[in-house]
Amino acid sequence: MTTMPFIAPGATLGVMGGGQLARMFAHAAQQMGYATAVLDADRASPAGLIAHHHIRTDYLDPQGLAQLADVSAAVTIEFENVPADALARLAQRRPVAPGAAAVAVCQDRAAEKAHFVRSGVACAPHAVIADADELAAVDDKLLPGILKTARLGYDGKGQLRVTTRAQLAAAWNEFGCKVCVLEKMLPLAHEISVIVARASNREVVHLPVQQNLHRDGILAVTTVPARDIAFDVIEHAVVSARQIAATLDYVGVLCVEFFVLSDGTLVANEMAPRPHNSGHYSIDACDLSQFDLQVRAMTGAPLIAPRLHSPCVMLNLLGDLWPEHGEPDWAAVLALPGVHLHLYGKAEARRGRKMGHLTVTAATAIEADRTARIAAARLGLADW
């Protein structure tokens, strides 16, 4: 990609998708003086409710795409399943970051694994299963494993654990015999993520490495600094994430999730071509958030390395917390020092749905952890 010219505040920035990531992007853009345009068919989308322009069409609707291009100086995305074809169309008229080719890789787990290998970054032993012959040819050494659909999987969806060949065949049938990736189950010690921002001039910065805890495939707790991770592993993760972004010729914010194995080995798990749930803490704990970086990368503004000014713990708030009638006891949580509550403006709380997050900042990591555990107990969240 050629170096993008600087787009000054006052212009309109477009985003494909209207969920909470687009909402936080819009807040960051508006704070910097940009207007925002959201393309999302949902009349009540969280980002559409606060944007200057809400284009209520499907992602592939030609008129909607034309309207977004008309009002926007540049366009970004809020989630990886925005059709790459739509981004390619928009790129004919406006700068799009990230680009269609990079997003297409992130949309397909098979292509994603191949990209890790091309980048010289280790990932789990795996096999792509596209037909019955490839299913029959799977190496027994990959079992037990996790079968994942190659496309449209997120937050633990489109994944099944399998321990035998019979279970593998049944799982593949359950997924409709679609293209899948079988990954060997590995002895995990920790999960971490690295969020990088890369400009069109190849400048790269990154947020502090995040240590993550997932429950049922959904992020539950993020801790920064990553207190249980060795310094050399953290450095390796950052270098690996930068390599992955460079070989994609990536422009924008990219999150790479890694597994740290019990022997200290680092393997890439997956990546997201956008700001990430594990980076939400940066709004309150860093001098530049991941959304500030998203705005800077897409407008050609200088990228400055974010600084962590407060150790923190972030808790995901899912719809499970909402009682049948009423709201969680926010007053009890807000009575705690260093608590920052973010709710996403979603009208309906459903089990497993991300409704908001809570970031606890403090002068020390121990203090942030202690207060976060009290907050979790008051909300009825499990300890960690």
- Assign residue 161 the CATH number of its domain: 3.30.1490.20
Same domain, 180 and 195: no
| 191/213 Cα distance (integer angstroms) | 7
Instruction: Indicate if the alpha-carbon torsion angle 56, 60, 65, 66 is positive or negative.
Output: negative
User: Is 76 contained in some domain?
Assistant: yes
**Mean of pLDDT values over 71-87:** 95
| Strand 354-361 to 145-149 pairing | unpaired
- 139 and 193 in a single domain? The answer is no
CATH code assigned at 283: 3.30.470.20
Q: In this structure, are 171 and 205 located in the same domain?
A: no
Instruction: Give the pLDDT confidence of 320-359 residue by residue, as tens digits.
Output: 999 876 789 999 999 999 999 999 999 899 999 999 999 9
Residue 2 placed within a domain: no
137 plus 244 within the same structural domain: no
> 210 and 151: one domain?
no
Residue 217, pLDDT above cutoff 80: yes
Does residue 6 lie within any of the structural domains?
no
Question: What would the mean pLDDT of 292-306 be, rounded to a whole number?
Answer: 98
Q: What average pLDDT score do residues 52-61 get? A: 97
Q: Are residue 202 and residue 295 in the same domain, yes or no?
A: yes
Length of the chain counted residue by residue = 384
Q: Tell me: the pLDDT tens digits for 125-161?
A: 999 999 999 999 999 999 999 999 998 766 667 899 9
Would you call 339 helix, strand, or coil by DSSP? strand
Same structural domain, 168 and 231: no
Helix (H) or strand (E) holding 378: helix 365-379
pLDDT tens digit string along 147-198? 999 987 666 678 999 999 999 999 999 999 999 999 999 999 999 999 999 9
Mean pLDDT over 8-23 rounds to 98
Cα separation, 56 vs 61, in Å, equals 10
Query: What confidence score (pLDDT) does residue 153 get?
Result: 66
pLDDT of residue 119: 97
Question: Of the candidates 106, 140, 159, which is a domain's last residue?
Answer: 106
Using the structure block, give the residue that is written with the tokens 């993008």.
4
51 and 129 both lie in a single domain? no
pLDDT tens for 228-245 read 999 999 999 999 999 999
Average pLDDT over residues 105-121: 96
Q: Where a domain ends, among 136, 163, 184?
A: 184
Note whether 362 and 318 are same-domain residues: yes
DSSP string, 213-265: EEETTEEEEEEES-TTS-HHHHHHHHHHHHHHHHHTT--EEEEEEEEEETTS-
Residues 239 and 343 in one domain: yes
Query: Which CATH number do you get for residue 85?
Result: 3.40.50.20
Does residue 195 sit in the same domain as residue 176?
no
Mean pLDDT of 279-307: 98
Query: Looking at the domain assignment, is residue 116 inside a domain?
Result: no
Report the C-alpha gap between 279 and 290 in whole angstroms.
6
Arithmetic mean of pLDDT, 287-316: 98
- pLDDT for 156: 60
Instruction: Calculate the average pLDDT of the chain.
Output: 96
Whether residue 332 is contained in a domain is answered as yes
Number of domains present in the structure of the chain:
3
Range of the domain at 139: 125-184
* In a domain? residue 20: yes
Same domain flag for 102 and 131: no
Which of 184, 207, 222 corresponds to the end of one domain?
Answer: 184
Query: Does residue 225 have a cis bond before it (omega within 30 degrees)?
Result: yes
pLDDT of the residue at 1: 57
Within its chain, how far is the Cα of 173 from the centroid? Answer: 29
The predicted structure's pLDDT at residue 154? 64
